[in-house]
């Protein structure tokens, strides 16, 4: 296992954005569900809050990868990742993708279902889209 550290403006921005996560679904903090449903149907995440520390866990039952990010008040975020996928790196990439497209709300996403599978799209079915893998883990 190797530690990764994040600091700086982007880490601070991500922390401010992430701090509203809750373990249960919440329409005001839909980002966790966005990442799991739209970008990777087999990954999950959960956030907790305890005495100035906020651990956020990501895990994938498909390949047993996991990541834990520990945010502490006034300190650097500390990241542990394990497995064939770098789930924290994927979460940051998904966040940057979302932010770079103007932080679209759920109303801008659509789903097309056909005999060849499901595709999620942003704004228009013929625009940017990607497959939604819903096969069993």
Q: What does the pLDDT look like over 6-60, one tens digit per residue?
A: 444 444 434 443 433 333 333 334 445 555 445 555 556 665 666 777 788 888 8
CA–CA distance, 54 with 39 (Å, rounded to integer) = 24
Answer left, alpha or beta for residue 78, where phi above 0 means left and psi between -120 and 50 means alpha: beta
pTM passes above 0.85? no
Sheet (strand 77-82) strand order: 2-6, 77-82, 66-72, 53-60, 43-47
Decide: 46 and 54 in contact? Cβ < 8 Å. Answer: no
pLDDT at 124 over 90: yes
């Amino acid at each position: 296992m190797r530690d990764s550290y994040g600091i700086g403006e982007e880490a601070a921005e991500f922390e401010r954005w992430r701090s509203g996560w809750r373990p249960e679904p919440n329409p005001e903090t839909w980002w966790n569900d966005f990442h799991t449903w739209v970008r990777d149907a087999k990954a999950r995440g959960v956030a907790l809050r305890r005495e100035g520390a906020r651990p956020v866990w990501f895990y994938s039952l498909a390949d047993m990868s996991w990541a834990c990010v520990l945010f502490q008040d006034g300190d650097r975020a500390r990241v542990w990742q394990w497995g064939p996928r770098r789930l924290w790196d994927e979460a940051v990439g998904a966040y940057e993708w979302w932010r770079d497209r103007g932080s679209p709300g759920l109303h801008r996403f659509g789903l097309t279902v056909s005999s060849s599978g499901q595709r999620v799209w942003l704004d228009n079915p013929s625009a940017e889209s990607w497959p939604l893998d819903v096969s069993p883990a």
